[in-house]
Amino acid sequence: MLEIKNLHAVVEGEDIEILKGVNLKVNAGEIHAIMGPNGSGKSTLSKVVSGHPEYEVTEGQILFEGEDITELDADERAHLGLFLAFQYPVEVPGITNKTLLREAYNTIARANEREELDPLEFEDYLESKLDVIEMKDEFLSRSINTGFSGGEKKKNEIFQMAVLDPKLSFLDETDSGLDIDALKIVSDGVNKIAGPEKAMVLITHYQRLLNYIKPDFVHIMMGGKIIKTGDFSLAEQLEAHGYDELQKEFSLNGAQ
Amino acid sequence: MSEELSDEVKALESMIGEEYKYGFTTDVEYEEFPKGISEEIVRELSARKNEPEWMTDFRVKAYHAWKEMEEPNWFNATYKSPDFENLLYYSAPKKKPQLDSMDDVDPNIRETYEKLGIPLEEQKMLAGVAVDAVFDSVSIFTSFKEKLAEAGVIFCSMSEAIQEHPELVKKYLASVVPVRDNFYSALNSAVFSDGSFCFIPKGVACPMELSTYFRINNMESGQFERTLIVAEEGASVSYLEGCTAPMYDENQLHAAVVELVALDDADIKYSTIQNWYSGDENGRGGIYNFVTKRGICKGRNSKISWTQLETGSAVTLKYPSVILQGDNSIGEFYSVAVTTKMQQADTGTKMIHLGKNTKSTIISKGISAGKSNNSYRGEVKIGKKAHGSKNYSVCDSMLIGQECGAHTFPYISSENPTSSVEHEATTSRVGEEQIFYLMQRGISEQDAISMIINGFVKDVLKELPLEFAVEANKLLDVKLEGSVG
């Protein structure tokens, strides 16, 4: 579904390379976890893949279902079925969640020549998604993320993911700032959404999220590259020994 | 700032600075009138309008008062002073017979209003809205007069009111904004040409929305209109003004005075959609919009509400205010001021609490883009006897791009310890993050920006009368329309 080939990226207008040749392949039905210390480039990777204008790809390619999307705008990538659950969801005062979601849903439907939903149909559709994340329907008529607690913002991201029904979702540190109850609800929601036709990439600093969402693959990212790929045991190993150990191994490899 | 970012900002700015659609000129023949200002000119103007002596005296006194006053310069705006000696203070299309029906209106002028989307034929108009059309200095046509007269409502041009209802004009003119209130109110009092007069008698709820469309056409003329709205005991009215002007390289002066009087239990809602020509990217041309607007809640339980959507003009200086004299009276000010290119706006309100249990609400939303400068200036004053009074103010500014400015100047004074004043202010930037967030959800860049701005101004636009909310949204969209990237 997603294939990232030798991806290099910089912050627009600056020389510092943040992604230094990332390679990643994600198939339908798979859940991947990308772990790494702060500053390793893992959040940047999710932004570059979803088309954040702050970054410029200097080398390499992003293929989505075989199509090169490296130069597409963020909305065009969303139309293809790409979703990013933000680490810091953005507040948009005065526009309700419902309005945003209906606009977004219908824009994506139009782009894919699917039928749009009228406001009443959409209302029913939204209601049907509320229990994915134990969301109260009052959330729907509140302004996007405005005055939401940290946990509510993260839940709202997963709710949006459920409504927009993307093929591939990047979840950027969705677990950060969540207490254990919220973490369970969020993970539960993600597990409900996951399925054989969907793919997910979880970006996280800690292993604890992976106790709730079992990844098929675990990647360790450091210095703008994926330096190691394994299964769940790699996450456990990391939890036991920390990033330092890997760092040493990595620099050793680098020296060879 | 990175290059891509600045491209985005440029795209944003070009969207907001959409071409002005109302910049055309109408070819009409004007009555000859000498330029400049003097007592003779003021007398001549009054004579042309066939005014009674008391009116001429009012003007002459005002002229002498103005002569002694100095042009104010305390605004957060810089501009070249208008050349008062070189202005044309009276500009009337030559063909000005008694207009009994639309057929008597100069076809060119009629066409102008058609082009502006304001058909003057009653059958074509929005149901439930009466229009007074002011072209340069004179009122061209007032619709639905008879229907309003049945309800006892007087809605006519100010010139007509001076002739037909002198007792009312004498009683209320300059009762809210005294001649010497400020430099521009004195000038207006001397040379005002026309405007609208509305009188809603005791106990009458005006059966339709009243509105006036102001159009400046003549390049050399200033526009000085005078509007007076009086709502007697228990009366209510909703009034809207709209304004446009052609594009000229020279600045034109618009110095209006608007006075509102609300007696016991009366309710006046005054809405403005201001879209004067704003000048070009380099700040050349555009209207100087220096306007004094003030209402007095004279009676108990009365209410005055100002709602304004300010999008045009090169320089705007205006502070629609309410004097809350009657006990339990309510004053409101809802404002959206959009500045783009080189526009400068210094706008806000004054809420003067004098009576007991008076309440005022101020919601001001400023949007600045381009190299524009947008200031909110508001004064809340609670007098000694205004026991239990309350004010609530919110001033939010939104910046688009890096070269514009937003400023807030709140002045608060309370002499009464049982009263409360609350003030909140925020400044935000239409961020790349907000746009990216919405785009990631599949929404186009243009729709994302439009959504962010609509969300920002929603609290104010919902105060506009329904018939005009559509128009206001359209105007904002026109400002936002355009290709991206």
Taking only the tens place, the pLDDT of each residue in A135-156 is: 888 888 899 999 898 889 999 9
- Contact between B228 and B198 under an 8 Å Cβ cutoff? The reply is yes
Q: Are A90 and B445 in contact (CB < 8 Å)?
A: no
If you average pLDDT over every residue of chain B, what do you get?
Answer: 83
pLDDT of residue B118: 62
3-class secondary structure, B137 = coil
Give me the mean pLDDT over the B412-429 stretch.
90
* pLDDT, tens digit, 9 for 90 and up, residues B438-449: 999 999 988 898
User: Is some CB atom of chain B closer than 8 A to the CB atom of A84?
Assistant: yes
Which residue intervals of B36-165 are DSSP H helices?
39-48, 53-68, 107-115, 145-150, 158-164
What residues contact A3, with CB distance under 8 A and at least 6 apart? A24, A25, A26, A61, A62, A63
Interface test with A, best of B427, B441, B443 (most A CBs within 10 A): B441
Q: In this structure, are residues B157 and B132 in contact, taking their beta carbons and an 8 Å threshold?
A: yes
Q: Any idea which residue has 């001033």 for tokens? A: B395
Nearest chain A residue to B7, by CA:
A53
Q: Mean pLDDT over residues B98-105, rounded?
A: 58
| B92-96, B199-203, B234-238, B263-267: the lowest-pLDDT one | B92-96
**Residue from B439, B446, B451 to probe the interface with A (highest A Cβ count within 10 Å):** B439
* B441 interfaces chain A, CB cutoff of 8 Å: yes
> pLDDT band at residue B3, thresholds of 50, 70 and 90?
very low
What is the pLDDT confidence band of residue B343, given thresholds at 50, 70 and 90? confident
Summarize pLDDT for B145-201 with one digit per residue, the tens: 778 889 999 998 899 999 999 999 999 999 999 999 999 999 999 999 888 899 999
- For B457, nearest residue in chain A (alpha carbons): A94
DSSP B29: P
Q: Hey, is the C-beta of B427 within 8 angstroms of any chain A C-beta?
A: no
Contact A169, A200 (CB under 8 A): yes
Q: Does any CB of chain A come closer than 8 Å to the CB of residue B436?
A: yes
Closest CA of chain A from B451, distance in Å: 7
Q: Does A166 touch chain B (CB under 8 A)?
A: no
Rg for chain B, CA atoms, rounded? 22
In A, residues 130-149, which contact B (CB 8 Å cutoff)?
143
| Contact flag A104-B442 (C-beta cutoff 8 Å) | yes
Q: What percent of chain B has pLDDT over 90?
A: 44
Task: Tell me the residue ranges of DSSP E strands in B220-358.
Answer: 226-231, 236-244, 251-254, 257-262, 267-274, 286-297, 303-310, 315-318, 321-324, 330-339, 344-353
Q: In this structure, what is the dihedral angle of CA atoms A174, A179, A183, A186, given to the nearest 10 degrees?
A: -70
Compute the distance between CA of residue B353 and CA of residue B359 in angstroms, rounded to an integer: 8
CA distance B401 to chain A (A): 15
Q: What is the DSSP letter of B393?
A: E
Distances (CA, A) of B143 to A160, B107, B158: 51, 17, 15
B483 and A CB contact within 8 Å: no
Tokens, residue A33: 């976890």
**Residue B358 banded pLDDT, cuts 50, 70, 90:** very high
Do B455 and A84 count as a contact with CB atoms less than 8 A apart? no
What is the per-residue pLDDT for B428? 77
Q: What is the pLDDT of residues A170-202, one digit of tens each?
A: 999 998 888 888 899 999 999 999 999 999 999
Query: What does each C-alpha distance from B380 to B95, B335, B375, B433 come to in angstroms?
Result: 47, 16, 16, 36
In a mutational test of the B interface, the residue from A90, A96, A163 whose CB has the highest number of chain B CBs within 10 Å is: A90
Question: Which residues of chain B are within 8 Å of residue A159 when distances are taken between CB atoms?
Answer: none
Q: Is B189 helix (H, G, I), strand (E, B) or coil?
A: helix
Q: Are strands A2-11 and A17-26 parallel, antiparallel or unpaired?
A: antiparallel
pLDDT value of residue A28: 95
Listed by start position, the domains of chain A span: 2-252
Residue ranges in B381-465 assigned as alpha helix (H): 432-440, 445-461
- State mean pLDDT over A160-174: 95
Which residue, among A18, A54, A84, A161, would best test binding to B if mutated, counting the most B CBs under 10 Å from its CB?
Answer: A54
Close Cβ partners of B357 (under 8 Å, ≥ 6 residues apart): B327, B328, B387, B388, B389
Nearest CA-CA distance, residue B367 and chain A, Å: 14
The pLDDT of residue A199: 95
Query: How many angstroms separate the CA atoms of A197 and A1, rounded?
Result: 10
Q: How many CA atoms lie within 13 A of B12 on its CB side?
A: 27
Output the CA–CA distances (angstroms, integers) from residue A229 to A20, A33, A43, B403, in the order listed: 17, 10, 17, 47
Predicted confidence at residue B263, as pLDDT, reads 98
Cα–Cα distances in Å, from A101 out to A49, A75, A97, A98, A129? 22, 14, 6, 5, 12
Name the region of A66 (left: φ>0; alpha: ψ -120 to 50; beta: rest). Answer: left
What's the pLDDT at B383?
A: 96
CA distance A185 to chain B (A): 22
Reported as a single tens digit per residue, the pLDDT across B121-133 is: 554 555 556 777 7
- Reported as a single tens digit per residue, the pLDDT across B13-64 is 444 445 666 666 676 677 778 888 999 999 999 998 899 999 999 999 999 9
A89–B442 C-beta distance less than 8 A: no
> Which of A46-60, A175-189, B368-382 is modeled with the greatest confidence?
A46-60
Distance (Å, whole) CA B8 – CA B316:
28
For residue A252, is pLDDT > 60?
A: no
Q: Does A57 touch chain B (CB under 8 A)?
A: no
**Model confidence band, residue A242 (pLDDT cutoffs 50, 70, 90):** confident
How many residues would you count in chain A?
Answer: 256
The answer to whether B435 touches B444, Cβ cutoff 8 Å, is no
- Rounded to the nearest angstrom, the minimum Cα separation between B291 and chain A is 30
Residue for token pair 């990216």 = B436
What would the mean pLDDT of B262-271 be, rounded to a whole number? 96
Q: Which of B442, B452, B459 sits opposite A78 (nearest CB)?
A: B442
Give the CATH fold of the A2-252 domain. Answer: Rossmann fold (3.40.50)
Q: Which residues pair with A207 in a beta bridge?
A: none
Q: Answer yes or no: do A12 and B454 touch at CB < 8 A.
A: no
- Evaluate if residue B468 carries a pLDDT over 50: yes
Task: Note the pLDDT of residue B12.
Answer: 47
Residue B484 has pLDDT above 50, yes or no: no
CA B269 to chain centre: 13
Q: What is the pLDDT of residue B79?
A: 87
A53 and B432 Cβ atoms separated by less than 8 Å: yes
Q: Does the CA dihedral B465-B466-B471-B477 come out positive or negative?
A: positive
Please list every residue in chain A whose beta carbon sits closer than 8 Å to the beta carbon of residue B445.
73, 75
User: Residue A149 and residue A152: Cα distance in Å, rounded?
Assistant: 5
pLDDT of B5 strictly over 60? no
Angle between helices B445-461 and B3-16 (to 10 degrees): 50
- Number of CB pairs < 8 Å for A and B? 96
Phi, psi (deg, nearest 5) at residue B466: -50, -45
Better pLDDT: B236 or B139: B236
Q: How far apart are CA A228 and CA A235, in angstroms?
A: 11
B104 vs A235: which has the higher pLDDT: A235
